[in-house]
């Protein structure tokens, strides 16, 4: 017969699911239901009527999802309509011309593109068509009659795994599906959007997208290390702790009540480490390449239902293991609490306390390189350079700097105001250190005053920071400089300012802020400082003519 079914319309030229059966999704309907083509006309791709379905241009539907989804959790889809240029939705969900947007043509013909409020007011809920059936979906079901129905002038039709879901809405719509009955792997979601018309609904846009349902916990790991120059290159420095921060992708909060554990193997022979915290630290003491392995186990509480008849499984003493009915179960022969054999995908455990649980696992593996790096920087001496009147009014200060770890290849300084929040000057220069890490950095100060000075030494893999608060006194024959201790925790707002500095070469310089604790030594020019360490982005290569290229001085 010529009667259309939902699967004929929603397939949009793709092979429809006439043979393959699917488990029912809660709230969804089978796509064998009939489609009301008289009220919801169906146009094939390329039909010339698509060109006239919307006034003033083309509507585009953007479909997104929070996939991948762990089986049993919810996956959420969002459809957003993008209207033609200079059109927007007003507070009453009518489509109007944006008066602040100037079109290529002359003045807009009218305030409204579609004044649905007027249409509805003229006919009301039950009298918009002669046969009183305008406020129904394509399968004949009536629209939900809630207080906001006048603002819902679009009909959204979602289709996946042989089933459909229909709802009304404004310029966007959101749908969530529980994935318990969805086959593992990639699936297709298709959405068709219709707008309200005078006598029929008019198709305005279609969209589709792939989503993934998996029995493996979706996760990623963020690796960071203080003084590491570029965390994205998987190269880290020896003898400095690396922080491993596990992020589980669980937007529907399915695992909120689960017991989650993390088993680490850092690949350096240190053995396995099991923790209940998603954050772990480890220090590599040798150079080389190491394979990092992580296994995450989630024990998920579930209702205890009847077990699916299956052959009995080997079990550990005192435990009863039964299959949880899933579409694609995987059987484990080891006790599910054993992290050494994390292969269970659909096993339910009946515990002695009467509760039941499912065990799910996630895996992460990567290779990292460990190299020598700069671990610490210290300012051990600060000296005012005496100058004659003929040499100018600038005050020069020599900072004697040492470091631990590898030898630096570049040195950067940031001079800021006394609050360490407003950067005044950034200077970076290459340095040549061949024996031990001891060098003098000469900096010029144009005016007397108090300055916050950050000094960093870096190489290809690392960059370390120390900070000081100094007071420069004026006068060409009596210049002095006094140093003030900057202790850990002072530069709270400074990192935000410094992070906006321009990239130089291929890197960015950015010290971490600290808070200040001052201790002034006014009895000499030599001052010893406590250090402020931070994770830094690589620095710029700006040249400063005030930096003197003398032996031993940068």
Say whether pLDDT at 23 is over 80.
yes
Say whether pLDDT at 95 is over 80.
yes
Gap between the Cα atoms of 381 and 441, Å rounded: 11
Are the beta carbons of 448 and 495 closer than 8 angstroms? no
147: region left, alpha or beta (phi > 0 left; psi from -120 to 50 alpha): alpha
Residue of 407, 395, 538 whose CA lies nearest to 470:
395
Can you tell me the mean pLDDT for 468-473?
86
pLDDT (0 to 100) of residue 100: 79
Q: Which neighbouring-strand residues pair with 8?
A: none
Chain centroid to Cα 553, Å, comes to 44
pLDDT (0 to 100) of residue 507: 37
Gap between the Cα atoms of 253 and 257, Å rounded: 9
Say whether pLDDT at 126 is over 80.
no
Question: pLDDT by residue (tens digit) across 376-404?
Answer: 999 988 888 876 655 556 788 889 999 88
Of 491 and 269, which is predicted with more confidence? 269
Question: pLDDT by residue (tens digit) across 28-53?
Answer: 999 999 999 999 999 888 888 888 88
Can you tell me the mean pLDDT for 251-278?
96
Burial letters 449-484, b for 16+ CB under 10 A, else e: eebbbbbbbbbebbbbbbbbbbbbeeeeeebebbbb
Question: pLDDT by residue (tens digit) across 367-383?
Answer: 999 999 988 999 988 88
How would residue 346 be classed by pLDDT, with cut points 50, 70 and 90?
low
Q: What percent of the chain has pLDDT over 90?
A: 41
pLDDT (0 to 100) of residue 544: 37
HSE-up (13 A, CA, CB side) for residue 272? 10
How would residue 253 be classed by pLDDT, with cut points 50, 70 and 90?
very high
Question: pLDDT by residue (tens digit) across 448-463?
Answer: 889 999 999 998 888 8
Phi, psi of 457 (to 5 degrees): -120, 140
pLDDT (0 to 100) of residue 306: 62
Class of domain 6-214: mainly beta
pLDDT (0 to 100) of residue 419: 86
Show me where the domains of the chain are located.
Answer: 6-214, 219-304+363-370, 374-387+394-472
Residue of 72, 10, 381, 410 whose CA lies nearest to 215:
72
> And the tokens for 65?
């999802």
* Mean pLDDT score of the chain: 76
Say whether pLDDT at 535 is over 80.
no
Of 507 and 19, which is predicted with more confidence? 19
Question: pLDDT by residue (tens digit) across 327-345?
Answer: 333 323 233 444 444 444 5
How would residue 474 be classed by pLDDT, with cut points 50, 70 and 90?
low
Q: What percent of the chain has pLDDT over 70?
A: 68
> And the tokens for 48?
């010339």
Say whether pLDDT at 480 is over 70.
no
pTM (predicted TM-score): 0.73
Of 542 and 240, which is predicted with more confidence? 240
Question: pLDDT by residue (tens digit) across 221-250?
Answer: 999 999 998 888 999 999 999 999 999 999
Of 30 and 103, which is predicted with more confidence? 30
Do the domains spanning 6-214 and 374-387+394-472 agree at the CATH topology level? Answer: yes
Other beta carbons within 10 angstroms of residue 538's beta carbon come to 24
Write down the CATH number for the domain with range 219-304+363-370.
2.60.40.10
Strands 288-302 and 279-282: unpaired
CATH of 374-387+394-472, one of 3.40.50.970, 2.60.40.1930, 1.10.1370.30, 1.10.8.100: 2.60.40.1930
End-to-end CA distance of the chain: 88
């Amino acid at each position: 017969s010529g009667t259309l079914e939902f699967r004929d319309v929603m397939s949009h030229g793709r092979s429809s699911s006439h043979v393959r059966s699917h488990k029912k999704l809660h709230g969804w309907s089978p796509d064998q239901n009939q489609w009301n083509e008289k009220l919801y006309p169906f146009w094939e791709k390329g039909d010339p009527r698509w060109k006239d379905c919307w006034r003033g241009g083309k509507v585009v539907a953007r479909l997104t999802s929070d996939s991948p989804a762990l089986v049993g959790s919810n996956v959420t889809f969002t459809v957003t309509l993008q209207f033609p240029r200079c059109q927007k939705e007003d507070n009453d969900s009518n489509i109007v011309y944006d008066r602040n947007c100037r079109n290529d043509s002359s003045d807009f013909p009218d305030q409204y593109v579609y004044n649905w409020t007027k249409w509805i007011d003229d006919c009301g809920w039950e009298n918009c068509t002669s046969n009183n059936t305008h406020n129904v979906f394509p399968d004949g079901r009536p629209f939900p009659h809630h207080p906001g129905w006048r603002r819902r002038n679009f009909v959204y039709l979602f289709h996946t795994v042989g089933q459909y879901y229909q709802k009304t809405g404004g310029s966007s719509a959101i749908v969530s599906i529980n994935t318990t009955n969805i086959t593992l792997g990639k699936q297709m979601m298709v959405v068709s959007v219709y707008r309200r018309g005078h006598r029929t609904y008019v198709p305005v846009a279609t969209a589709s997208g792939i989503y993934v349902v998996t029995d493996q916990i979706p996760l990623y790991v963020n690796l960071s290390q203080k003084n590491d120059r570029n965390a994205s290159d998987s190269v880290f420095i020896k003898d400095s702790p690396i922080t491993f921060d596990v992020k589980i992708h669980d937007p529907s909060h399915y695992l909120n009540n689960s017991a989650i554990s993390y088993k680490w193997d850092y690949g350096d022979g240190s053995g396995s480490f099991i923790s209940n915290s998603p954050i772990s630290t480890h220090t590599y003491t040798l150079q080389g390449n190491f394979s990092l392995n992580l296994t995450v186990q989630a024990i998920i509480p579930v209702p205890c239902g009847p077990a699916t008849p299956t052959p009995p499984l080997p079990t550990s003493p005192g435990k009863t293991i039964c299959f949880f009915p899933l579409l694609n179960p995987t059987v484990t022969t080891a006790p599910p609490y054993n992290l050494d054999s994390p292969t269970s995908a659909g096993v339910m455990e009946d515990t002695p306390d009467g509760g039941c649980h499912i065990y799910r696992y996630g895996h992460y593996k990567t290779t990292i390189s460990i190299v020598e790096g700069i671990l610490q920087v210290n300012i051990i001496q600060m000296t005012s350079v005496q100058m004659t009147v003929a040499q100018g009014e600038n005050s020069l200060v020599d900072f004697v700097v040492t470091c631990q770890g590898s030898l630096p290849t570049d040195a950067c300084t940031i001079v800021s105001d006394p609050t360490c929040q407003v950067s005044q000057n950034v200077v970076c220069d290459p340095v040549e250190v061949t024996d031990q890490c001891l060098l003098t950095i000469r900096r010029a100060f144009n005016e007397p005053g108090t300055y916050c000075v950050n000094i960093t030494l870096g190489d290809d893999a690392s960059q370390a920071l120390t900070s000081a608060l100094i007071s420069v006194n004026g006068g060409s024959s009596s210049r002095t400089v006094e140093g003030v201790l900057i202790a850990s925790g002072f530069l709270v707002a400074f990192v935000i300012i410094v992070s906006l500095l321009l990239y130089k070469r291929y890197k960015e310089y950015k010290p971490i802020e600290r808070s200040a604790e001052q201790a002034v030594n006014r009895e000499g020019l030599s001052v010893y400082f406590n250090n402020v360490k931070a994770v830094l982005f690589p620095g710029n290569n700006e040249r400063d003519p005030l930096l003197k290229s003398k032996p031993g001085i940068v």
